Structure 1
Amino acid sequence: MERGSYGPDDRQLLETTARRIYTNAVAHGSLPADDPRLHDARNQPALDLLLDIGLIRLDEGSNRLYPMDPSAVQAQIVVPLGQQGADLLTESARWADTFSELGQVFRTSPQATVHPITEIHGLDNINNFIAAAVNDCRAELLTAQPHGRRPANALAVAEDRDVKALARGVRMRTLYQHSARHSPATREYVADIISHGAEVRTLDEFFRRLIVVDRQVAVVPASDNHHVAIAIYEKSLIAYLVDIFERSWERAQPFNVSGNQAERHIAADVRAMTIRLLTEGHSDPASAKRLGVSTRTYAGYIAALKDEYGVQTRFQLGYAMGRDGAALPLPAPEPDGEVDDLELVEAVEDD
């Protein structure tokens, strides 16, 4: 074994058997080199490691083993390992750059249209694909993130990735639901990426997750359990998804608007959406999901409406809203038969 080539197995040996031998040597000042206990099948590898590292030195004159100060040995072991780690990180970055360049070649080639849709199975594979696609992004990144809260660890990973994209000059626009404004972790994430140039807005309506990278690839879910996603390369499909995003973007409220006026806008949107869901007869869990809140929070919205109209039951609430015109049906769809675009976008779970 060459010095500097130590690995996890050696470290584990040093932490266990070799540590006991070294501690014993320190306690007694030295150990007899010919002690048979040091040369059995269990202790011999540990003794060899201590001698090789230099934590134990054999004095041939006295045939005894003397412990050495670890601080005198540490740099000889740790510095080469650190250099190896730096070399591996550099090599890893070069591999990533090479794959990024090849990915750009593939996505801009006619070959991408031969297989316009690719299935990705497993959350880890989905997240890795998204991370690679965002790292390859050079011009524009569109994301629609449903539900109110995202895990703090997922936001931390996204923040590092997104800030790097923004530093490359990428224009980034992100949609959340209004309920995301009540998440401290999300507010912190949004404040950071906005400070780096991103644009973030929130919408009252429920939508599904969507990621579009450079208008060359779009990622949407392909299963209810979020374990399957599809990557879309077909230009016409991507253009359709971008159109859906743009319509939602125009209706959304900027996340960075502060003050009472912004809060009044959001409160009015949430109230209107709650009334709509209530009058359409959706169940509480379904309505809560569409608003991106918990069922308990949604029940609170209903309770607030009851207080507003001075009633005690939902039946009375429906009657009161209908009397005042609050529960009038929504306008009919346009004659061209268009449906709610937001319902056509499927979801992908995070990371």
Structure 2
Amino acid sequence: MCTAGTLLYERALREGQLPAGDARHAPCLLDTGLLQPSLDDLDRLEPVPPAVGLQRLLRHSADRIAGERRREEELAETFQSLMRIDDRPQGEAVSPALGLLSGKTRINAAISEALSAAAEEVLCIQTQHSYSTSEYARRAQALAMRRDQAFLDRGGRLRTIYPHTQRHIPLVIARYEQLRGDAQARTLDEVTERLILVDRSVAFLPADKDHHIALEVRHPAITGYLADMFDRFWRLATPMYPKAVEPPSPERITARQRAIAELLVEGHTDTAIAERLGMNVRTARVHIAKLAATLGSQSRAQLGYLIGQSGILDQEGPHT
């Protein structure tokens, strides 16, 4: 029962009867039969004795369990005949090297299943699109917190790479303030698309722009390649948690401006630079203006020349 239902049932037991309208906020009492119309007055409800109600609920529970067992037997019988048709080796049939998952509910269920069997580490790359404020996103983030904490409680290690733009997002900061265990995070100027790699043996990658379809990868060559890619990014990334390190800025050029300078020299537009570095166009233009002011540039063409002459692209960016 819900909390409101429990309190109302206690009140009904003490008072003997209740007005029927009082149960509108606790329909579970009527659904479970713990309150029933009075024979003397149909506008009032009276409680079923707790012992009777308990036996009734236990009987319903037993019926549901028996129904699930019958369903399991039917599924096993159906799939036994299907497995006789499928002549592939059992391991290949059960765990294909590549598979498509459709729908966020199915994707989250597959990730949860993989993490429940994980024993060592989970590697993640999160993008600027990973933290939304929608109701669905909040529920998904709460699910991910429970899932990740359970993994950490089993002694696992969690490593996550974010773009620099997420270093100060409250949801990201709160995540690491709440997680307990070996959880580490670092940031980069530019990251790849989202990645979740479990025990270096199963990976989840987005298969469409809206992240409604995911690719589940279990091929050792591909998961090994992804793990190597992640390790390289991790070595280049700036620590964020447990100990945050601010990127150095030699000669007044920040790490973010240096990354923008590289893309400017390559000829990218402001929009493309913003997309590559996970920021909006207005923020990218502010950084470009600051870079131009620092180098004394009067035009876009001159800025490219001054970037090349300044030597800032020869300086090493922040890494550990």
3-state secondary structure, aligned to 2:128: coil
Q: What is the distance in 2 between the residues matched to 1:226 and 1:173?
A: 21
- Please state how far the C-alpha of 1:244 moved relative to its aligned partner: 0.6
1:190 pairs, out of 163, 173, 176, with 176
- Please state how far the C-alpha of 1:233 moved relative to its aligned partner: 1.2
Aligned to 1:321: 307
Aligned to 2:97: 116
Q: Which has the higher contact order (CA 8 A, sep 6+)?
A: 1
3-state secondary structure, aligned to 2:211: coil
Q: What is the distance in 1 between the residues matched to 2:107 and 2:296?
A: 49
Contact persistence 1:116–1:233 (CA under 8 A): yes
* 1:236 and 2:225 are equivalent in the alignment: no
Aligned to 1:273: 259
How many percent of aligned residue pairs carry the same amino acid? Answer: 32
1:331-342 aligned at under 5 Å gives the runs none
Distance 1:324 1:210, change over 3 A: same
Q: What is the distance in 1 between the residues matched to 2:199 and 2:280?
A: 34
Q: What is the distance in 2 between the residues matched to 1:169 and 1:232?
A: 24
Aligned to 1:222: 207
**Could you tell me which amino acid in structure 2 is paired with residue 188 of structure 1?**
A
TM-score, L = length of structure 2 = 0.67
Aligned to 1:250: 235
3-state secondary structure, aligned to 1:219: strand
CA root-mean-square deviation = 3.8
Structure 2 gap ranges (5+)? 1-18, 22-29, 69-89
Count of aligned residue pairs for this structure pair? 258
3-state secondary structure, aligned to 1:265: coil
User: Runs of 4+ in structure 1 displaced over 4 angstroms?
Assistant: 52-55, 66-70, 72-89, 327-330
3-state secondary structure, aligned to 1:161: helix
- Please state how far the C-alpha of 1:274 moved relative to its aligned partner: 1.0
Looking at CA atoms only, which structure, 1 or 2, has the larger radius of gyration? Answer: 1
Distance 1:207 1:114, change over 3 A: closer
Contact persistence 2:35–2:45 (CA under 8 A): no
Q: What is the distance in 1 between the residues matched to 2:57 and 2:126?
A: 39
Q: What is the distance in 1 between the residues matched to 2:302 and 2:53?
A: 74
- Please state how far the C-alpha of 1:212 moved relative to its aligned partner: 1.1
- Please state how far the C-alpha of 1:79 moved relative to its aligned partner: 7.0
Structure 1 gap ranges (5+)? 1-20, 24-48, 60-64, 93-108, 331-351
Contact persistence 2:120–2:199 (CA under 8 A): yes
Aligned to 2:112: 131
2:128 pairs, out of 147, 152, 155, with 147
Q: What is the distance in 2 between the residues matched to 1:53 and 1:286?
A: 62
TM-score, L = length of structure 1 = 0.62
Distance 1:69 1:225, change over 3 A: closer
Contact persistence 1:155–1:186 (CA under 8 A): no
